[in-house]
Amino acid sequence: MEKKGVSSAIIIVIVIVIAAVGVGGYFLLKGDGEEGSAESGLTPHDPILIVGNDNFTLANGVVDGRGTESDPYIIENWVISAENVHGIKIRNTTAYFVIHSCVVENGWGGVTTMGFTWTTW
């Protein structure tokens, strides 16, 4: 049976992940201000746009996972310069994913998500 809307638990998780990305990025860059430096452990990456389940690829920053509840796609350890675009934009997916330890600079919005459908929770 299809659920209508996104449960409040999922919304809370998304808010926590977005907050953690922002706060974590601040502290990673606070020390020496060098984005993508060896000290920060982040690697430069182009802006990420994922539309649908088939776009969860290495080229789009996915480093691990299969998109299931027990093995979500992992997008992590990137520093993204996103002038005039969103740094990470994910739309219209039923896949499970985690965004961890990413910094987005110069973009319209750090992380933008919309159009999720989870069939189980």
What residue segments make up the domains of the chain, in order of their start?
8-116
Q: Residue 106 — φ and ψ, nearest 5°?
A: 65, 20
Sequence-ordered list of residues with C-beta below 8 angstroms from that of 4, at least 6 positions apart, any chain: none
Please spell the DSSP secondary structure of 55-72, one letter per residue.
Answer: G-SGGGTEEE--SSSSS-
CB contact at 8 A, 46 and 53:
no
What is the token pair recorded at 82?
A: 């996103």
pLDDT in tens, the chain (121 residues): 445 555 545 555 565 556 555 545 554 444 444 444 444 789 999 999 999 999 999 999 999 999 998 999 999 999 998 888 888 999 899 999 999 899 888 866 777 777 665 433 3
Q: Is the backbone of residue 77 left (phi > 0), alpha (psi -120 to 50) or beta? A: left
